[in-house]
Each structure stands twice: as C-alpha cells, then as structure tokens.
Chain A
Amino acid sequence: MTTARAAAILLAKELRLEFRTRELLNSTVLFALVVVVLFSFAFEPTAAESRRYGPGLLWIAFLFAGSLMVQPSFAREQSNDTLGALRMAPISPFAILLGKMLANFVFLSLAEAVIVPVFAVLYNVSLTGVAGRLAVVLMLGTVGLVVTGTVFSAIAAHARMRELLLPLLLFPILSPLLIAAVLTTASLFAEDPGLDRAWLAFLAGFDIVFLTASWLLADFLIEE
C-alpha cells in the first residue's frame, strides 16, 4: 500500500474517532477562546492596539490550543496498545505519523476557523479583502505546528508528566514559526494590508525542514 493511501485511511480513522465525541475539538476551541478573552484584559482592545497586539495574541492562542490538540495523538493509542497493531500493518511508519499529522491539521484548522472570526469581532479587526491570504498564512503556520507537535506527542507519550512536558518541548522549537506567523499576520492586519512574502517563505521553509526531518526520523520514532 502506498504511504499516501495508508495515511488517508488513518486520517479517516482519526476523524471518525474524534467526531464521535468531538471532545478534543470542543475543549480546545473553548480553551483558545478563553485565551483570546483573557488577552483583552492585558491591553486596551481598540482597533489600533489590536492591529499591534492582535497577531501575537492570535498565534499564542493557536500555539496553546495546538499543543493541547496534538497531545492525545499517540497517548490515545496506548491504553489498548493499538499503536502496536498499527505497526504490524504492512505500511511505512511515516504513513502512521502522516495520518496523525493530517488529522491534527484538520482539527486545528477547524478550531482556527472558529477562533479567527470571533477574534475579528471582539478586537475590531477587519478581515474583508484579506481572508484568502490569511487562510494561506494560517495554513502554513498550522502545518509547522502540527508537524512538530505530532512528532513531539509521539516522544512525550512515553514520558512521565507528558501533558506538561509536551508544551515545554514544543514552544521553544516553535519560536521561529511564531515570529514568522505573527509578522505575516500583522502585515495582513495593517491599515494598508499587504502580504509579507519574505516571512511567508520563511514559514514554508520551516514546514519543509521539519516535515523532511520527520520523514527521515519516522522509522526511529515509531518502533518497538
């Protein structure tokens, strides 16, 4: 079976599992909204101030939500040792990883689709005319986040205190992504919106570096 097909089947399985209960989606969306609301007390959310702090706020909320979102990816497989069963299937280890990355990408994108409009309303940020470009920025940022996040969730799944450990592993690594994502988003929120292509390229570069690294290291990550 090709890696793409195996990953697609695994993606379908992850989605089915999540949409039975929607526990993960509901709680992370709510968590991100709480973060967005709390930030309104950190500064005066006028339109001008929101343009300055809004992008950072938004991405911090995504980072927090994302680290919660990817957490159960591999931990969930442990209770019945279903990962052992997956490993026995005649598919490449990267397919397992990719399936989970895609699922996390879908979940986080859905969460963002809820959070961004709410944020725009609460912080007086106008999204008309930039929605398409913003979607590209969100997509590239989300890819980087879920790629590293899914790999680290596989690492942290074997550790004690994994819920606390995962953000500690993830956030320092994501600092370049945070900078690039915040600056591209800021270029779209500006009074005269224009996409910052240099930073967009940097975001894409970040995604490529870590996606390649996870492809190369997948065999070591998913073993025994």
Chain B
Amino acid sequence: MKSRTLVTLLAAGLVFFAGYAALFIAPDERTMHAIQRIFYFHVAAWMASFTAFFVVFIANIAYLVTRRIEWDFLGVSAAEVGVACCTIGLITGPLWARPVWGIWWTWDARLTTTFILWLLYISYLLLRGLLEDAPRRAPLSAIFGVFAFLDVPLVYMSNRLWRTQHPQPVFFGGNGSGVDPTMSRVLLLCAIALLGVMVLAVMDRYRLERLRYEAAELRVAVETRRAERESISSRGAR
C-alpha cells in the first residue's frame, strides 16, 4: 500500500512537472504563441486514450480465448479510462482549433475517427451497463469490443479517402518534422505523465471491478445459504 502511495505521488509530481514544462520550458511557437502549448496535453491525451483502447481490444480477445473474468475487468477499466482521455482530447482540440483554424471543429479524417471512436466506446460502456446478466455481459461486450476495434481503421480510411478531396483548414506547426527538439522532449514528458496517470487509473478501476465482482458473488452465496436454511427450518417446523 505504501509503494502505491509513493507511485501515485510520483505520477502527480510528474504531471505537475509536465504542466510546468509545457507552459514555461517549451519554446514559444512562431505563429500560434501561447495557444500552441495546449498541444502537449492534447496529443498526450490522445496517445493515452489510444493506448487504453488498444488494451481494451487485447483484453477482449484474451477474454474470448481464455474465458478468464479478469480480462473482462481489464476491458471495462481500460475502456472507461480511455473514454476519459479521449474526452480530454475532444475538449482541448476545439479549444486549440478555434483561435488557430478559426473554427471549433472540422470533419477531417482524424477528428471524425476520434469522435466515432469515442462514441463506440461510450456505447461499449452503455452496453455493459444494460447487460444485467453477469455471465453474459463479459462475452457479449467482448464481441462488441472486437467489432468496434475492427471498425476504427475502416472509419479512418473512409474519412481520409473522402474528405481529403475537399479543401482543409490550414495546419500550422503541429507535430511535423520541423519541431524544435525541446518541444518534442516536452511532448514526450507529457505523454509519459499522462500514460502513467492512465495506467494508475486503469489499475485502480480494475481493483474496484474485481471487488464489485467478489461482492456480487458473496451476495449470491449469502442469498443461497439463507434460502437453504429457511427451507430447512420450514421443513423442521412442519
């Protein structure tokens, strides 16, 4: 438990340092100035969410192959944290786009794919909430998770093929080749910080899911025991 507190403190410190680095250490961007600093957390959040969704996919496949309920716990934990990170990306994106592109949103391939991804994993979580029958929840939601993940490249390809025929808002800067080395180092720091937070959150959520599962099992066991005792005592009374 002590090491867990230590790791949490370390991650918190890392996030604060990453925030400081993004605001004060990273050099000023030539055309966008201060607003560009949102980039460090925007991209890092996107990396964390995509990693989390990949973990969901692996967990879903692993569950279907091994039938171990632990993989189901991992799936739901990573999906929730992934949706949270994806939401950060979807909020910081328009905040950055408005002053730079002049619009809040554009239906560009990457933006659309992220939005659909977010919708897909929200529906994954919704589905899990609506599948009340616990032994069915794990396989059925795993199947949906596999379908959702298979869909992501198709969504990206279709939007890329389609929308690139239309004029796009101009991309300034971004993470192209001409990035200052300090910038990429700060980005790396932010990515590590957010990935660390993501992993910790998934671990905590996993523990919670396991405790919930154990509690539900105990409740069922208690109910069965009570029913048994009642039937015995009623027979005795007769």
Q: A interface vs B, CB < 8 Å?
A: 148, 151-152, 155-156, 158-162, 165, 168-169, 172-173, 175-176, 179-180, 183, 198-199, 202, 205-206, 209-210, 213, 217, 220-221, 223-224
Contact = CB atoms under 8 A, between A and B. Distances in A.
A148 B136 CA distance: 19
B201 interface: no
Given A173-B148, A175-B116, A217-B64, A165 B130 contact: yes
A173 B161 contact: no
A81 B136 CA distance: 16
A179 B162 contact: yes
B140 interface: yes
B161 A198 contact: yes
B130 A160 contact: yes
A202 B161 contact: yes
A161 B130 CA distance: 7
Given A152-B147, A160-B130, A221-B139, 13 more contacts: A152-B144, A155-B127, A155-B140, A155-B144, A158-B140, A159-B131, A175-B116, A175-B155, A175-B158, A206-B154, A210-B150, A213-B147, A223-B139
Chain B interface main SS type: helix
A210 to B, nearest CB: 7
Interface string B186-211: 00000000000000000000000000
Question: Which of B119, B133, B135, B158 is packed against the most chain A CB atoms within 10 Å?
Answer: B158
B160 to A, nearest CB: 11
A199 to B, nearest CB: 8
Contacts of A206: 154
Contacts, number: 81
A145 B89 CA distance: 30
Contacts of A209: 150, 154
B32 interface: no
Given A148-B147, A155-B143, A169-B127, A179 B158 contact: yes
B157 interface: yes
Contacts of A223: 139
Interface residues of B, number: 31
A213 B146 CA distance: 8
Contact of B136 (A162, A217, A224): A224
B108 interface: no
Nearest to A198: B161
Contacts of A161: 130
A165 B147 contact: no
Contact of B146 (A160, A180, A217): A217
A75 to B, nearest CB: 14
A173 B158 contact: no
A156 B131 CA distance: 8
Interface of B: 64, 116, 119-120, 123, 126-127, 130-133, 135-136, 139-144, 146-148, 150-151, 154-155, 157-159, 161-162
Enumerate the 7 nearest inter-chain pairs by beta-carbon distance, A residue then B residue, closest first.
A159-B130, A176-B158, A176-B154, A172-B119, A179-B158, A155-B140, A160-B130
A140 to B, nearest CB: 14
User: Which of A172, A179, A180 has most B Cβ within 10 Å?
Assistant: A172
Nearest to A165: B130
29 contacts: A151-B143, A151-B147, A158-B133, A158-B136, A159-B127, A159-B130, A159-B131, A165-B126, A165-B127, A165-B130, A168-B123, A168-B126, A169-B144, A172-B148, A176-B157, A176-B158, A179-B158, A179-B159, A183-B162, A202-B157, A202-B158, A202-B161, A209-B154, A210-B147, A220-B139, A220-B143, A221-B140, A221-B143, A224-B136
A165 B129 CA distance: 11
Contacts of A210: 147, 150
A158 B158 contact: no
